[in-house]
Amino acid sequence: MAFKFKKNSVLPGFGMSLGLSLTYLSLIVLIPLSSLAFKTGADLTWSQFLSTITSPRVLASYRLTFLASAVAATINGIFGLLVAWVLVRYTFPGKKIIDAMVDLPFALPTAVAGITLTALYSKNGWIGRFLADAGIEVAYTPLGIIVALTFIGLPFVVRTLQPVLQDFDPQLEEAAASLGATRLKTFTAVIFPNLLPALLTGFALAFARALGEYGSVVFIAGNMPMKTEIASLLIYTKLEQYEYAEATAIALVMLVFSFIMLFLINGLQAWNARRQS
């Protein structure tokens, strides 16, 4: 059979809807995004590109961004599992409101989250005050960056785990229990392995979001080059100083990592869907 672009259908509007969608997609997303690659290619030679992205200040910002994002995503993995478990399995007063509240970091603009967390964790803030007594400084240190990234990544793990926990077949647990397994053994040997694909997906989503985060971090980070300067902020600073070539080089590396994460997440979600069915 000859190759056919589209299967026959009685419904109208295919050409118009696809044509309009592709035009709009190209104008708003594809052409602007490709300008990044054009600009890097036009303004920088390969060796200039390499020396930009391997300069100590840029490397330090990459390291900080990746480490802080990984720590924040791990915290979200642990507490996200706990929150999802409690919300699905147990009953307690106010559960519905708390469930709805989990999405607050999605709905609250990042700048508001940024100034609020800074006010809370600075030395005379509600929480920072007690931590300062214990000798821990959060605001304007890498710890502050982790706090901000934990906040914005919070819903991802909870929201990917909830449906999986909801649909979990109780017979598996019953079988384990009737074969004499303790509750802990049932969790580690039966429940946890089944949750793992969703848990990893949530972790990857939180990590990917943290890599590019800007608004919630800039206020609490202190933004000291080499110490508390994340990659997004470094790109921003370079743009403000009209060093477009350097900014594009740094951004291109981050964009490549974002796309690798997107690819990974798609793979994880496919694995997750297979485990579910």
CA angle, 145 as apex, 143 and 148 as ends, to 5°? 110
Q: Tokens 């995004």 identify what position?
A: 33
Question: How far is residue 173 from each of residues 163, 184, 186, measured CA to CA in Å?
Answer: 17, 11, 7
- Cβ atoms 214, 110 nearer than 8 A: yes
Of residues 29, 67, 224, 273, which one binds other proteins by CB under 8 A? Answer: 29
Does 159 help bind other proteins (rule: CB under 8 A)?
no
Of residues 174, 224, 225, 241, which one binds other proteins by CB under 8 A? Answer: 174
Does 256 help bind other proteins (rule: CB under 8 A)?
no
Q: Which stretch binds other proteins (CB under 8 A): 52-60, 88-96, 134-142, 195-203?
A: 88-96
Shortest CB 242 distance to other proteins, Å: 7
What would the two tokens of residue 48 be? 């200039």
- For the beta carbon of residue 102, count every other beta carbon within 10 angstroms: 17
Shortest CB 113 distance to other proteins, Å: 7
Q: Which stretch binds other proteins (CB under 8 A): 55-63, 136-144, 194-202, 214-222?
A: 214-222
Does 30 help bind other proteins (rule: CB under 8 A)?
yes
Of 28, 24, 71, 62, the closest CA to residue 252 belongs to: 62
Distance CA 119, CA 115 (A): 6
Does 5 help bind other proteins (rule: CB under 8 A)?
yes
- Each residue 90-129 as x (binds other proteins by CB under 8 A) or -, in order, gives x-x-----x-xxxxxxxxxxxxxx-xxx-xx-----xx--
Does 273 help bind other proteins (rule: CB under 8 A)?
no
Shortest CB 122 distance to other proteins, Å: 11
Of 202, 208, 196, 201, the closest CA to residue 269 belongs to: 201
Give the binding-site size for other proteins (rule: CB under 8 A).
93
Does 9 help bind other proteins (rule: CB under 8 A)?
yes
Distance CA 70, CA 22 (A): 36
The conformation of residue 26, written as its DSSP 8-state character, comes to: I
Of residues 70, 79, 163, 196, which one binds other proteins by CB under 8 A? Answer: 79
